[in-house]
């Protein structure tokens, strides 16, 4: 009798594992967005995932690969946090600074070529894909003169993420 109950229990767990979760769909039939929470463990890998993805896109476009630059990362991190404080995605800091000003302040010796920004609940790769769909932001990522990449984010407690990508050469 115990074997029978054990067999029934195993069968029940096996069937439960076969169920699929259906995403909640919006009125347009697309899945509703879910909050992307960045853990401390994931934070260390995000810049490298973006760097690898950007370099794959650049290779396909015939552009040279980029390398992460600590000064540009710092400038991007400062701007991501500042956009959250201002509660608006735009290219100027709360002190009136431009992307060029922030790169200089961070000690970047090269020429800042472009900046992409985003306010979203999406992952870094979904954000990169969205940037690639728009000519202006795509041109920053694929700029053949670029050699350096800065990438950072700030996540609010509610899950909203402020992304900043900067390129320099």
In the structure encoding, which two tokens stand for residue 132, read together? 């690639």
Structural domain contains residue 112: yes
Task: Count helices and strands (H / E) in the chain.
Answer: 6, 4
Q: Please provide the DSSP assignment of 9-56 as one string.
A: HHHHHHHHHT--PPPPB-TTSSBPP---PPPHHHHHHHHHHHHHHHHH
What is the domain range of residue 141? 40-168
Q: 117-157 pLDDT, tens per residue? A: 999 989 999 999 999 999 999 999 999 999 999 999 999 99
Collapsing DSSP states into helix, strand and coil, what is residue 91?
Answer: coil
Lowest mean pLDDT across 6-20, 84-98, 116-130: 6-20
DSSP annotation of 141: H
Strand partners, 164: 117, 152
Structural domain contains residue 62: yes
Calpha distance 105→13 (Å, rounded): 58
Calpha distance 71→139 (Å, rounded): 21
Structural domain contains residue 57: yes
Model pTM score: 0.79
In the structure encoding, which two tokens stand for residue 143, read together? 């700029």
E strands along the chain, which residues?
67-68, 112-120, 148-155, 161-168
Residue 33 has a pLDDT of 64
**Percent share of the chain, pLDDT over 70:** 85
In the structure encoding, which two tokens stand for residue 110, read together? 């090269």
Domain count, the chain: 1
Structural domain contains residue 145: yes
Structural domain contains residue 122: yes
Q: Are strands 161-168 and 112-120 parallel, antiparallel or unpaired?
A: antiparallel
Structural domain contains residue 76: yes
Structural domain contains residue 123: yes
Specify the CATH number for the domain of residue 121: 3.40.33.10
Q: Who has greater pLDDT, 15 or 117?
A: 117
pLDDT band at 23 (very low <50, low <70, confident <90, very high): low
Q: 34-53 pLDDT, tens per residue? A: 778 888 788 779 999 999 99
In the structure encoding, which two tokens stand for residue 97, read together? 């600074």
Structural domain contains residue 35: no
């Amino acid at each position: 009798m115990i074997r029978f109950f054990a067999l029934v229990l195993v069968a029940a767990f096996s069937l439960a594992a076969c169920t699929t979760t259906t995403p909640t769909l919006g009125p347009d039939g697309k899945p509703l967005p879910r909050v992307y929470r960045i853990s401390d463990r994931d934070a260390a890998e995000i810049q490298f995932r973006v760097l690898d993805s950007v370099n794959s896109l650049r290779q396909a476009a015939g552009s040279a690969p980029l390398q992460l630059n600590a000064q540009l990362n710092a400038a991007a991190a400062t701007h991501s946090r500042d956009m959250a404080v201002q509660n608006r995605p735009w290219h100027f800091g709360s002190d009136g600074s431009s992307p060029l000003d922030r790169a200089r302040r961070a000690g970047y010796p090269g020429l800042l070529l472009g900046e992409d920004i985003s306010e979203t609940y999406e992952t870094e790769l979904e954000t990169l894909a969205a940037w690639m769909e728009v000519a202006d932001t795509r041109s920053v990522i694929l700029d053949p003169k670029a050699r350096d990449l800065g990438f950072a984010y700030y996540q609010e407690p509610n899950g909203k993420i402020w992304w900043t990508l900067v390129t320099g050469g």
